[in-house]
Structure 1
C-alpha cells in the first residue's frame, strides 16, 4: 500500500466488520474508519464490486488515482494541482463531507464519461459554533468539478454536482423547512453551489478552451439569510463565475436520488427532501435493525428543544413545492420528484426524541444444523410483546414468510391474545429444519424451528414444564405424524368434530398425547 503511505490515511484507525450489499448477499469483510456506523460498512460493500474483502483506503485510492492520472493526461492538472486534488478528495471523504457517485466507485467507464456524479453532505459543513463553512463548501464544489472532469478525461460535457440532507442542515440551524428563512437558506446554498461550480468550469476552460458561453444573467440569489455570511458568499461566487471567458460544461448542478454513496456519508435525507420524522431505522453493529433518533433530531433536542415540534414535523406538499421553487432556479436539471408522500406526523418529546426501549433477549440455537435466532421484547412488567426470527440458511421467500408470521404473532400479543394460545397452536408443528437442538439444554430436539421457539417461550414466560420432548423418529424429515394429522384437505369431507372440551388427535394437545416421553 505504498500509494497510501505519507497521506491522510496514515494514522487512520480502521475497524473491521462483515457486511453484505443486501440481505440476500453473502457477507464480506469490510474495513472502515473507527467511529463510522455499520450502515457505512453495508454501503461500502455495495459500492465496491466483488465479494472479497474491501477496505475504504484501497477502494478510495483506486478512483482517486484514476482522477489524478486522468487530470494529468488531459491537461487539467499539473503535478502540484494533482497532489492537492488527491489530498483534498481524501479530506472530503474522511470528514464525510463528500464523495463521487456509485459509477465512479464501480469504475463504470461509460457512465463516468457521460454524466459523473458527486454529492456533498450539507450537515458535515456545519461549524462548531453553529455557522456554515461557506469557504470550505465553495472549495469542495470546485474540487468536485475538477475531480469529475479529470475522471472523465475532460470528455464529459455534463456533470452532476449535487448536495444532500438539506432538511437535516436546516433543522440543525434551527430553521423550519416550511419557512421563508429555510427557503432563503436553501436558495443561497444552491446559488453558492452553482457559482463555485461555474467558476471552476471556467478555470478549466482557461486551460483547455471553452465549450459554452458563460451565463451573463443570473437568477437573483437571496439578499439575506439567517446564516451569517451565506448570502454574501453566494453573490460573490456568482460574480466570480461571471468573470470567466467561458465554461467547459453544458450542465454542472443536478440533484439525484440517493444511493449507497449517501448512506456511506451518513446522509439521512436525499437532496432537498424533507425529513420523514424524528426517528429512523438503523442497522446496529450486531446486524440488527433498531429505531433510533435521527442525527438532526439529536442536535435539535440539544440546541433547540423548545422548537423541536416545528423543526422535526413532517411537511405538506405545498411546502415541498415551495422548496423546489426556491432552489430550481440555480439547478441545471429539476430535482427528482419525491418517492412518497410525507410520513404521518409523529409526536416529538419535550426533552428527548422518543425511542422504543423494551427489555428482552436474543437466543441463538441450531435446529437440525440450521442456525436460528429468536428475539423477544417485553414491557416494563415482563410481559412478552414481540418476537422476531433470524434464519441463516433459508431462502428469501422462507425468511419473508417467517417475518410475516412473527409480526402477526406480535400484533396478537400486543392486542391481548394469550401466549398460551400460540403455544397450543404452534408447538410440535412439523416442517424442516428439524432434529437436534444445539444451544438449548432444556430442549434437545424439535420438530421445527417454530416448535423449539414456542416451547422455549412457554418455558420462559409461562413456566410450562409439562411439554414432552419429541423422539428422534418424530423429528425425521419423512415423519408423517398421526393419522389425524394426515387428514385430506378441502374440498373432501371434514373429519368429525369432537365435543367442546375434548382433545382431538389433530389438536396440539392431541399431538402431544401421541408423543413418547424421552430422556
Structure 2
C-alpha cells in the first residue's frame, strides 16, 4: 500500500484495548503517540478485522482506493493525488472518513467528518484552510462516486437510477465539535452571536459542497466571522462552469469517527459539563475562562466565594441551535426530548448537591407481612428528598446489606439530580417476599414487597401522589388450572385419583 509511506517519520505507540467485554479479549492498536488513549478504542471499533490494528495500514486501504480513481473532468494534470493530504488531515485529527468509507462498504454512503475546533487559530478561524479541506473531501467523494457508481448499483433494472449521474449525491460531509469551536472563538454557546456564527459556517460548508451543481447555495448571514461571505462568493464563482454531482452536508451523530477525531461534543450539541470524564477541565472551558480573563485558579476562587465564573448552558440552548441551523444543511441530528432535557443537563453537569448539616425528614416504622421495616429520610433546605435509608432489622445479613446499598444508590442519584418520580415508577408495586398486610402505617393496608411499601410512601410524602394498594394475592390461592384436561371440574373423580387411593405401601 503506497499510502503507508505518508506515515513515515510519525512517532507511534501501541496500546492493548478490549473490544468485547464478554470475550475478554485484548487487541493491539498502534496509533500516533500524540493521540489520546480513547482514540485507540475507537480505532479498534471502526476496524472490522479481529487482529492487531495499525493506523497506517488501515488508513491506507481507503486512501489508496481514492488515489486509484481517475481525476474529475477539468482537473489540471499537475494536481497531485489527494491521498497525501487526506493522510495528513487524519494525522492532525482535522478530518476523518466515516465507517462506510473506512471499511470500504459499497452499499453504504461514504463521507468525511470535519472537526470545526481544529480550524481555530490564534488569528481566528482559518477560513481558507477550512474551504480547502471541504473541497478536498468533496472532490475525493466525487472521484470515488464516478469510479464505483456502476459497482454500487449494478445497473440492474431493479434500481431506479437517476437519468444523469449529476443528479445523485456523491457522499456526505459532516461537521462536528461546534461547541469547542465557538468557545475558542470566545463565544458562549447560548448566544445570538454563537448561533449566527454556526449558521454561517454551516452555510459556507453547504456552499462549497454545492459549488458547480444545480442546487443553489444557501445565504450566509452576518456573523462575527466577517470573511465568510467573501470566500463563499469566490468559491461559487470559481466552480460555476463545472458540472458536479452534489455532496450532502450536515452535523455528525455519536460514532467511532467522532471519537477518532477526539471531539468534546458530537455535532452541534453543547457541553453541559465543564469537566471531562477524568475530572479535568475541558479545553472549551479553559478557552471560555481565558476569554473572560480568568485562570483556573481565579475561577476556583470565584466559585468558592459563591459566584459563577461561567454561566451554565440552558437545556433549551440545544433546541435553539437546532432551529438556527435548520434548512442550512441536509442532515441534522435530532434534539433530545424537551421533558428529558433538564434532567440530562443536570446529570451531565456532574454536580452533586450536598445535604445540610442539620437535616429534616421523617422516620417510619412499619411491618409488611410480619417483617419489620425502618425507613428514614433526609431533606434538602427546600424540603425535597435528598437521602433515604431502608433497614429490615430482623432479616438476614445479606438482605440488610442489599437494602442498605439500594438506599445509598438511590440517595446518590437524588443528590445528582435524578427525579424521585423515576425511582417510584421503577420500584413501586414490585413483587417479592416478604409481602402482605402493612402494620404501623394507616395510609397503606397492603404491600407486595418492602420496596413497594417504601416508595409508595415516598410518593405520598414528597410528590403528593398517594398510590393505591395492589390487588392482594393470598399465599394459599390455588394456581389456575393447567392446559391439560386433567383437573376439569366435571363432577367426576378422575381415574388416576382412584388408582392413587388403592395403592398400598408394602415392605
Render the CA deviation track for 1:304-329: whole Å, top value 9, x for unaligned.
35598686622232x33332233233
1:33 maps to what in 2? 32
CA distance in structure 2 between the partners assigned to 1:407 and 1:338 by the alignment: 35
- In the other structure, the counterpart of 1:4 is 4
Aligned to 1:162: 174
Match of 1:336, SS? coil
Q: Which has the larger radius of gyration?
A: 2
Q: Map 1:185-196 onto structure 2 (within 5 A).
A: 185-196=197-208
1:235: how far off? 4.2
**Does 2:58 correspond to 1:59?**
yes
Q: What TM-score results when the alignment is normalised by the length of structure 2?
A: 0.58
Q: CA distance change for structure 1 residues 141 and 2 in 2, over 3 Å: closer, same or farther?
A: closer
Matched ranges for 1:421-460 at <5 A: none
Equivalent in 264, 270, 284 of residue 296 of structure 1: 284
DSSP 3-state at the match of 2:124: coil
Structure 1 residue 66, shift from structure 2 partner:
0.5
The answer as to 2:106 corresponding to 1:109 is yes
Unaligned 5+ residue runs, structure 1? 203-211, 282-289, 356-403, 416-490, 493-519
Q: 2:134 aligns to what?
A: 141
Q: TM-score, normalised by structure 1?
A: 0.57
Give the 3 Å change call, closer, same or farther, for CA 314–407 of structure 1 in structure 2: farther
Q: Which runs of 5+ in 2 are unaligned?
A: 150-164, 300-307, 353-401, 414-474, 477-507
Task: Identify the residue that residue 327 of structure 1 maps to in structure 2.
Answer: 325
- 1:228-377 equivalences under 5 Å are 228-240=226-238, 243-249=240-246, 251-281=247-277, 290-304=278-292, 313-317=312-316, 319-331=317-329, 333-339=330-336, 341=341, 343-344=344-345
SS at match of 2:29: strand
- Deviation string, structure 1 residues 33-84 (Cα, Å, up to 9, x no partner): 0121111000000011121111111111111001111245x7687775353x
Change (3 A) 1:104 1:220: closer
2: CA distance between counterparts of 1:88 and 1:322? 36
In structure 2, relative to structure 1, the CA distance for the partners of 1:405 and 1:197 (3 Å cut) is farther
Q: Tell me the SS of whatever aligns to 2:31.
A: strand
Q: Give the Å deviation of 1:118.
A: 1.0
Report the count of equivalent residues.
333
Deviation of 1:354 after TM superposition, in Å, equals 9.1
1:275 CA drift (Å): 1.6
Distance 1:405 1:49 in 2: 44
Per-residue CA shift, 1:452-495, capped at 9, x if unaligned? xxxxxxxxxxxxxxxxxxxxxxxxxxxxxxxxxxxxxxx89xxx
**Aligned residue number for residue 214 of structure 2:** 213
Q: Secondary structure at the match of 2:190?
A: coil
Q: CA RMSD in A?
A: 3.6
- 8 Å Cα contact 1:313-1:345 kept in structure 2: no
1:312/1:305 Cα in 2 relative to 1: closer, same or farther (>3 Å)? farther
Deviation of 1:214 after TM superposition, in Å, equals: 4.4
Once the two structures are superposed, what CA deviation does each residue of 1:87-146 show, in whole Å capped at 9, x if it has no partner?
1101210110011101111121111xxx2221100001111x151110110000011111
The alpha carbon displacement at 1:347 in A equals: 11
Separation in 2, partners of 1:10, 1:174: 37
Mapping for residues 398-417 of structure 1, pairs under 5 Å = 411=409
Alpha-carbon distance change, 75 to 133 in structure 1, aligned in 2, over 3 angstroms: same
* Corresponding residue number in structure 2 for 1:503: none
- Whether the 8 Å CA contact 2:96–2:257 is kept in 1: the answer is yes
Distance 1:151 1:274 in 2: 34
**Secondary structure, in 3 states, of the residue corresponding to 1:99?**
strand
